[in-house]
Amino acid sequence: MRGRLAYFVTVIQLILFAGHALLYETIVYFWLMQSHAAVTYLRVLLAVLSVTFVTASLLAFRYFNIAARIYYTLAAAWLGIFSFLFFGSCALWLAYGAASVAGLHPNRQEWASVFLAAALIVSAYGIINAAAIRVKRVTVRLENLPEAWRGRTAMLVSDVHLGHVRNLGSIRRLVTKVGSLKSDIVFITGDLYDGTAADYNGLAAPWSALDVPLGQYFVLGNHEGFSDSTRYLNAVSGAGIRVLNRDKVEIDGLQLVGVRYHDATHAEHFRSVLREIRVDRGRPSILLTHAPDHVAVSAAEGISLQLSGHTHGGQFFPFNLFVKRMYGPFAYGLNRLGTLQVYTTYGAGTWGPPMRVGTNAEIVLIRFE
């Protein structure tokens, strides 16, 4: 396990070194930097910045003090800013090269200023946008829905990623927003925590203040599986939230099923878990599972509605393209496969860079008809 982690960390760090090297070459070439002192300062600065996210992540798994939180937040923000500067640099080289081939003679400094300034502006927008949680409202119509459920609302919350970037103030604001919408039931579909060191009980405590008639329900996500998940389960249960783990509860004639992330990653294992739960195909059911990985299995096993998160919609370019490629129509929103309906949410938080461009942080208010 440690060997694989070391290999993974090494690969990521090498990629970051290479990306920062490209950014360094871009700045030096396009701004015609001649001063040896300035070039040396830039080289050292970018070399140091290139290791901040990896070191901050490693520290975050052990420490949850103010210094660790500030360092991780700044490192994560720089990772996002660097990403856009890197893409801006690539676009700059391509555009400059095409213009040169076409016989034009663009001004290097002016072109660099435009492309890299645009990258910084997009980065600033992404940080601001990620901090604003929207309320997405959807209506779901289920076959044979019990009369007691018609007109009821459910709140779907996923991927809050509580930890070093989002902590007590964030969860208090989120819970206040959830409470103001007065839903009948709350579903939390994993990655409530980021998987790093944290005050687990303190971050779960605000949920206990919610007055939800039909209760709150939680399933584990992949980030809660980075280490022993007992600490998360104890904290969530202590706040009055019901944990569903390969489990089913009946609420006024509707079946509510919960399958944790690690029981749903492989299709055949996922199928066997759902069969063990014994979902009644003749009555409506809602499945809470973190990721929309095997929706065909959910459909085949007679689930009516699956609620998931995990994808974040990719958060920002180009990761949105990868996520769309992986999950197709189930990357985001309400979609159907046969009789199964699937809603995948962008989630309320972020992982890594605290940025969203082309996606929004959201909680989802579902109305049943």
pLDDT interval class at 5 (50, 70, 90): confident
Q: DSSP code of 161? A: -
pLDDT interval class at 94 (50, 70, 90): very high
Say yes or no: 182 and 313 in one domain: yes
- 152 SS3 class: coil
Say yes or no: 106 and 163 in one domain: no
Cis peptide before 284 (omega within 30 of 0): no
Give the structural domain span for 330. 134-368
Please list the helix, strand and coil fractions of the chain in percent, rounded to the nearest 5, in that order: 50, 15, 30
350-365: average pLDDT: 97
Say yes or no: 76 and 178 in one domain: no
Chain segment 26-76, per-residue pLDDT in tens: 999 999 888 889 999 999 999 999 999 999 999 999 999 999 999 999 999
Report d(CA 278, CA 9) in Å as an integer. Answer: 42
pLDDT of 7 reads: 86
Chain segment 174-211, per-residue pLDDT in tens: 999 999 999 999 999 999 999 999 999 999 999 999 99
pLDDT interval class at 369 (50, 70, 90): very high
* CATH classification of the domain holding 317: 3.60.21.10
Strands 340-344 and 333-337: antiparallel
From 129, 148, 179, give the residue that closes a domain: 129
Cβ 154 vs Cβ 252: under 8 Å: no
DSSP string spanning 23-84? HHHHHHHHTT---HHHHHHHHHHHHHHHTHHHHHHHHHTT--SHHHHHHHHHHHHHHHHHHH
pLDDT of 4 reads: 79
**What is Dmax (Cα atoms) for the chain?**
76
7-11: average pLDDT: 89
Report d(CA 26, CA 320) in Å as an integer. Answer: 26
pLDDT of 287 reads: 98
pLDDT interval class at 6 (50, 70, 90): confident
Predicted TM-score of the model (pTM)? 0.93
From 67, 100, 129, give the residue that closes a domain: 129
Say yes or no: 175 and 279 in one domain: yes
pLDDT interval class at 1 (50, 70, 90): low
